[in-house]
């Protein structure tokens, strides 16, 4: 088990997320049904307009968030981003 230390006081970017008042279900779709895919697409559209998208994605990678849409990336998309991040230390997104 990996324990990641972080201080919520240091994650002030969260208050600036474009998702603050959005439906949380969009960001945590369940399964791979058409409804879930549509929810993820809606969440990613919100992320693409978000001023803290990079901070959010970096946080999700750094703290191993394994579900939901963070920084405009689904859990599957973050797996490949995380692999590259471990190799290069850089966030490389499409």
Q: Which residues are near ligand SF4 by CB under 6 A?
A: 17-19, 27, 46-47, 50, 52-53, 56, 69-72
Nearest approach, Cβ of residue 13 and ligand SF4 (Å)? 7
Nearest approach, Cβ of residue 1 and ligand SF4 (Å)? 25
Nearest approach, Cβ of residue 66 and ligand SF4 (Å)? 15
Cβ within 8 Å of residue 4, ≥6 positions away: 62, 63, 64
Closest residue to ligand SF4, judged by C-beta, is 17
């Amino acid at each position: 088990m990996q324990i990641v230390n972080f201080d919520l006081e240091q994650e002030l970017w969260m208050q600036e997320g474009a998702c603050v008042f959005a439906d949380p279900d969009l960001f945590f779709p369940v399964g791979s049904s058409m409804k879930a895919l549509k929810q993820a697409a809606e969440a990613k559209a919100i992320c693409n307009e978000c001023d803290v998208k990079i901070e959010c994605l970096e946080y999700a990678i750094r703290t191993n968030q394994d579900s939901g849409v963070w920084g405009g990336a689904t859990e599957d998309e973050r797996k490949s981003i995380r692999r590259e991040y471990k190799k290069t230390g850089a966030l490389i997104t499409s």
